[in-house]
């Protein structure tokens, strides 16, 4: 857990200054998780026209137990750019459930697409495959909506 936190904070101070008046941060939530009820939100920061670093935070109830998650993504936009394009990247996620003392880790590649509209509405979808400490594999599926500023 300490290593994940250190990795997250190492990425923060190196943000490039974006000369144009384009959004440089996207704040999104996962409406699918709200059914559990679990609130998961993602903050993605612009690094260059082709890259973004995202931080994932979540907490709520899963099967009547309190759970939380912390994670990070590195996204490379290979078609288009940070504001409208297809991307692939790597997701690392740590999760814990209140009935267990162990921290579960997941890591894997993902591919997706993000659109930031002229009114700053943001839609981001991602899918992938994760190697997991609590099962041999997991599916990454993120369907997020939000705002960019």
**Whole-number Å distance between alpha carbons of 147 and 43:** 10
Q: Which residue has the higher pLDDT, 13 or 60?
A: 60
CA distance 124 to 52: 13
Quote the pLDDT of residue 14: 43
Write the pLDDT tens digit of every residue in 46-73.
Answer: 999 999 999 999 999 988 899 999 999 9
Q: What was the pLDDT predicted at 17?
A: 43
* The predicted structure's pLDDT at residue 3: 53
Q: What is the DSSP letter of 141?
A: E
Structure tokens, 121: 């509405």
Q: What pLDDT, on a 0 to 100 scale, did the predictor assign at position 46? A: 95
Contact between 55 and 75 under an 8 Å Cβ cutoff? The reply is no
pTM equals 0.83
In three-state secondary structure terms, 119 is coil
Given 2.40.160, 1.10.150, 3.40.50, 1.10.3470, which CATH number is that of 2-11+23-148?
2.40.160
Residue 31: strand, helix, or coil:
helix
How many other CB atoms are found less than 10 A from the CB of residue 17? Answer: 6
- pLDDT in the model for residue 63: 85
Per-residue pLDDT at 101: 76
């Amino acid at each position: 857990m300490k290593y994940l936190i250190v990795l997250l904070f190492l990425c923060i101070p190196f943000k490039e200054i974006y000369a144009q008046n384009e959004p440089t941060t996207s704040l999104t939530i996962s409406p699918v998780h709200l059914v559990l009820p679990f609130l998961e939100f993602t903050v993605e920061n612009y690094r260059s026209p082709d890259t973004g670093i995202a931080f994932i935070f979540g907490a709520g109830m899963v099967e009547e137990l309190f759970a939380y998650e912390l994670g990070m993504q590195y996204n490379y936009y290979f078609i288009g750019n940070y504001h409208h394009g297809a991307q692939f990247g790597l997701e690392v996620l740590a999760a814990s459930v209140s009935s267990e003392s162990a921290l579960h880790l997941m890591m894997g590649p993902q591919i997706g697409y993000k659109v930031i509209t002229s009114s700053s509405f943001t839609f981001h979808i991602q899918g992938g495959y994760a190697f997991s400490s609590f099962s041999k594999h997991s599916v990454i599926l993120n369907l997020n909506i939000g705002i960019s500023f």
